[in-house]
Amino acid sequence: MKTPPGFTDQTFNAPDSGTDDDQAADARRFRTLFLSDVHLGSRGCQANLLLDFMRYHDADTIYLVGDIVDGWRLKKRWHWPQAHNDVVQKLLRKGRKGARIVYLPGNHDEFLRDYLGLTMGGIEIVDTTVHESADGKRYLVCHGDQYDVVVRHAKWLAFLGDWAYNFALQTNIYINLVRRRLGWDYWSLSAWAKNKVKNAVSFIGRYEDTLSTEAGKADVDGVICGHIHHATMHDVNGVHYVNTGDWVESCTAVAENEDGSFELIKWTRLSAAGEAELKAAKGKSEPVAADASEVLAFDTIAGKQKSSSDQSAAA
C-alpha cells in the first residue's frame, strides 16, 4: 500500500518496549499531538492500534479534535470493550502526568458541547481554538462538522449516511480478520471506496475549500481539523490545511515537532508489545461499563462544576 505524501509510516519499525510500563522507554516526544475521529463505542474503532500508538508517542499538548466518543452508535447499541476504556484511561493518565489536553467535540460526541468552557478531569472542553506553533504560525483548530451543510441542515441525511458507513465498517471487520491471519496491515474498504468515488472526492475538495476559507476569515495561517476521515496535509488557497484523519479507516495522527513543522503519522500495524497485549486480552471482550455515565471518569466532576457555575450566576 502506497504512503501518501507528507506521511511518516512508522508501523513497520515500531520498537519492542520489552516492558509492561505505560510508555515505551524510547517513545518519540512531540510539542503537540492532534487526534480525531476515534469513535470509541463503535465496532469500527481501532482502539488497540491507538493504544499502541500512544505507547510510542507522547506530547506536551494533546488536542482531541472531535468524535473521540461515538454517541450516535452508543445510543443505538451499547459497545464498550476493555480496549475502549483503556484509551480513555491512558489519555487521563497522560493528563495527570502533566500533558495539557484540549477536547474539541464533534457531531458524534456533541453531548460534550453542553460543557464548553469547563475543565473536566484536567481536560479543557472548547468548540474551537487557535493553536500557535513553535515557529509562530497560527492554526484554527476545530472538528469541522460546524462547516458541513449536511450535518447542520439535514441531520436525517447525516444519520442515513452514518448507517451506510457503518455497514461498510462491519464488512471491513471480516476482511481484516483474514488480513491479520495473513500477516498483512490493516486496510479500510470504506477509505478505498471514498478515494475511488467521484462524488466523495468532490465533497472532500469542497470541504477543504470551506475550511481554508474559514481560516482566512479568522486571519490565521492554517487549519487543523477532522470529521471527514481523510488524512492529508497541504496548502489550499494559501492556507496550510491539515486533516488528522481518524482511527477507523486511516489510523493516523498529526504531530508538531519542536521546530514548528508538522507530520502525519500512520500506525496500521501493532508493535510486538501491542500484539502481546492483544493476545493477553483475548476472551475478555465483555463490556466494562454499563452505560454512558460510567464511560468518562470526569462526568460527575463536570456536573458539579456546571451546577456550581449556575449557582454563582444566579447569585
Write the pLDDT tens digit of every residue in 101-111. Answer: 999 999 999 99
pLDDT by residue (tens digit) across 31-64?
Answer: 999 999 999 999 989 999 999 999 999 999 999 9
Q: In what order do the strands lie in the sheet with 262-266?
A: 7-9, 262-266, 252-256, 28-35, 57-64, 100-103, 123-125, 119-120
Give me the CATH code for the 7-13+27-314 domain, please.
3.60.21.10
pTM recorded for the entire structure: 0.75
Q: What is the pLDDT of residue 17?
A: 43
How far from chain centre, in Å, is Cα 85? 15
Torsion of CA 268, 273, 275, 277, to 10 degrees: -120
Task: Check residues 76 and 187 and name the one with the higher pLDDT.
Answer: 76
Banded model confidence at residue 7, pLDDT cuts 50, 70, 90: very low
Tell me, what amino acid is at 43?
A: R
- Cell numbers 512531540 correspond to 30
What is the C-alpha radius of gyration for the chain, rounded to an integer number of angstroms? Answer: 19
Percent above pLDDT 90 for the chain: 54
Q: What would the pLDDT profile of 208-255 be if each residue is shown by its tens digit? A: 999 999 999 999 999 999 999 999 999 999 999 999 999 998 899 999
Chain segment 283-301, per-residue pLDDT in tens: 555 556 655 555 554 443 4
Cell of 215: 481560516
Residue 313 has pLDDT above 60, yes or no: no
Query: In this structure, are residues 249 and 204 in contact, taking their beta carbons and an 8 Å threshold?
Result: no
pLDDT > 70 fraction of the chain, expressed in percent and rounded: 66
Confidence of residue 314 (pLDDT cuts 50, 70, 90): very low
Rounded to the nearest integer, the mean pLDDT of the chain is 79
Residues facing residue 7 across a β-bridge: 264
Query: Residue 48 belongs to what H/E stretch?
Result: helix 47-56
Which pLDDT score, from 0 to 100, does residue 76 have?
87
